[in-house]
Chains A and B, each alone.
Chain A
Amino acid sequence: MEKFVRHDGLVAPLDRANVDTDQIIPKQFLKSIKRTGFGPNLFDEWRYLDEGSPGQDNSVRPVNKDFVLNLPAFQGASVLITRRNFGCGSSREHAPWALMDFGFKAIIAPSFADIFYNNCFKNGLLPIVLSEDNVEALFQAVNGKEGYRLTIDLEGQQVIPESGAALPFEIDEFRKHCLLNGLDEIGLTLNEADAIRAYEKGRMEREPWVFADH
């Protein structure tokens, strides 16, 4: 997993509450065999005017020009600000995969659905909870200035606007540690490789048949 220490990026505003995982990535795309490549179908039903199907050439599809991520001003955005209960619905990991594949590094909202929030950390995407008021202020700032950017300082646990005071946020110590060091759960577990090997050795003696080749 890529490290997340500090990120400076263009902000896109998605002014909706309760955005569910079906809206983030519709179910027909779950038949894909990849963890990558979901970006073109992120928010598919909002971004395009036709019904999407897997394996299509998305570049020739009719685009909903009014959808925020299609506006020229937000091309290249990597920080998404949105409203409460983002990521509700199913447990599909395809949701964070799609957001990351599109280019988002961090999502800022007043609250997130549980499973989605967890899935983000498994994939190196940083979900940040700020108060309703602070999120509202960010919406106003983004809407008031083209090319509005934010800096996210994970070490210092703060979102730094171009002007004005930094906004502190909370994050679980263990998860912060994983993100700062680019440790995914697998990487972390592999730190205990010696313990796993030692365990295996004992088991091999007691139950050799479990380890038989076939």
Chain B
Amino acid sequence: MAGKTLYDKLWEAHLVTQREDGSALIYIDRQIIHEVTSPQAFEGLRLAGRQPWRTSASVATIDHNVPTTPFKSAADIADDTSRIQVQTLQDNTREFGITEFGIGDVRQGIVHVMAPEQGAVVPGMTVVCGDSHTSTNGALACLAHGIGTSEVEHVLATQTLVAKKMNNMRVSVEGELGAGVTAKDVVLHIIGVIGTAGGTGYALEFAGSAMRSLSMEGRMTVCNMAIEAGARAGMVAVDDVTIDYVKGRPFAPQGADWDKAEAYWRTLVSDADARFDEEVNIDAADIKPQVSWGTSPEMVVPVDANLPDPAAESDEVKRSGMTRAYEYMGLTPGMPVTDIKVDRVFIGSCTNSRIEDLRAAAEVAKGRQKAGSVKQVLVVPGSGLVKQQAEKEGLDKVFVEAGFEWREPGCSMCLAMNPDRLEAGEHCASTSNRNFEGRQGNGGRTHLVSPAMAAAAAVAGHFVDIRELDQA
């Protein structure tokens, strides 16, 4: 019998019942809850007179709607609908006895930053959240994916999900990453190779020596964007990096439990003879710092390239997509990436708002100044704890001295549900994950990059190759 993949192991360990029609009931260990996709789920429980199956399985926080300027209570949120959603989450979690890291709690932050940080997500878990970037948590060898509002309620009420097993795909990145090449560049490159639908229907395992060389935070950046490659779940096998990351976190097991946990977690790797339905191999040496130029994450090129010519694209659907993207982005085929000027810069989001991301950006910002042509540079830490740590290291001062704005934690300009947004026509160097039309504000033009590349663009006023920053 062939060996098992990491996903096979996680699936089997959570199988409650297998039904005849091919669907299955799988047990959900952890549900993470935020204010936008949960209100109807709680209302559903209330209407049906149901209670959560296991309140300790859930952890909630506010992120999508919160302002990133200081505020003390929900009453300080100017936008009515945002304020109501924040207030409602507070009311619901109190009513049902669910832990919430709310306003003023240093643990509050973006769901996918907060959960691993607290150790609320540990290896071997199934993790869901009403948010497609739940795949982030797969970096800890978890089966983690986003769900819809009816399913949020289903998990609250039953602690299970009706699911069908996905296929296995492995993307292996072998070799050493070049200077200036980060986890963000790796995942953007992968999406450029397999396309935004390349992972549809698959559970995606990221493997290879380059992946193992990444820190846990870097792995989270990669798994975060599995969904942008079409895969609902991304994951990385357990190794020392995983174990060291989890140890000592508030929710993590301790004492004898820890030893038992570690022994089990170490088995959470794909067997040497495991069979994958699809395998993709990437040479780390081929990966350069990336910049997305269009309105889909697969429209991405190395920073030292020129923008692609739609006329050279043989697939008609793709060609027309590229033409439409050029129109929306106000760019011309063939122009060098480094000629794209930026109006605003956003450093944050569940992709790149952890302490390492901020350190990388600060290293570039240090001793430099925001270009006069750049209207605003927002630096938004992923959680209160990330913010605290950054301030301890003096990163906030580095940013402020460079003319960047240091903000409170939240999703912010990643999706512009709060006041942070682009004006129509503005180009933004952004460390977030989606460059869809209007994502960062109506008519806004998003370019996805790593934190260091974003900071470099802020300083230069246009994209620059981080590897040649001083000549810029």
| Chain A interface residues toward B at CB < 8 A | 31-36, 54-55, 91, 93, 97, 119, 122-123, 174, 184-186, 189-190, 192-193, 195-196, 199-200, 203, 206-214
Contact = CB atoms under 8 A, between A and B. Distances in A.
Contacts of A93: 40, 148-150
B253 A209 contact: yes
Contacts of A211: 54, 56
B396 interface: no
Contact of B81 (A31, A35, A122): A31
Given A31-B85, A33-B40, A214 B56 contact: yes
Given A185-B150, A196-B25, A214-B251, A54 B81 contact: yes
Contact of A212 (B43, B85, B251, B264): B251
B159 interface: yes
A36 B39 CA distance: 11
A77 B232 CA distance: 40
A186 B261 contact: no
A192 B124 contact: no
Given A54-B81, A196-B16, A208 B257 contact: yes
B19 to A, nearest CB: 9
Q: Point out which of B99, B158, B159 has the most chain A C-beta atoms below 10 A from its C-beta.
A: B158
Interface residues of B, number: 46
A4 to B, nearest CB: 16
Given A200-B27, A211-B56, A189 B160 contact: yes
B202 to A, nearest CB: 20
Contacts of B99: 214
B125 interface: yes
Given A186-B50, A192-B17, A208-B257, A33 B84 contact: yes
10 contacts: A32-B81, A34-B40, A34-B43, A184-B48, A185-B150, A196-B27, A207-B261, A207-B264, A210-B122, A214-B120
Contacts of B85: 31, 33
B29 A210 contact: yes
Contacts of B264: 206-207
Interface string B151-166: 0011001111010000
B88 interface: yes
A152 to B, nearest CB: 24
Nearest to A208: B257
A164 B47 CA distance: 40
B95 interface: no
A123 B59 CA distance: 26
B253 to A, nearest CB: 4
Q: Point out which of A32, A203, A207 has the most chain B C-beta atoms below 10 A from its C-beta.
A: A207
A196 B149 contact: no
Contacts of A174: 21
Given A34-B40, A93-B40, A192-B25, 9 more contacts: A32-B81, A33-B84, A55-B80, A174-B21, A185-B154, A195-B25, A196-B53, A207-B124, A212-B56
B243 interface: no
Contacts of B16: 192, 195-196, 199
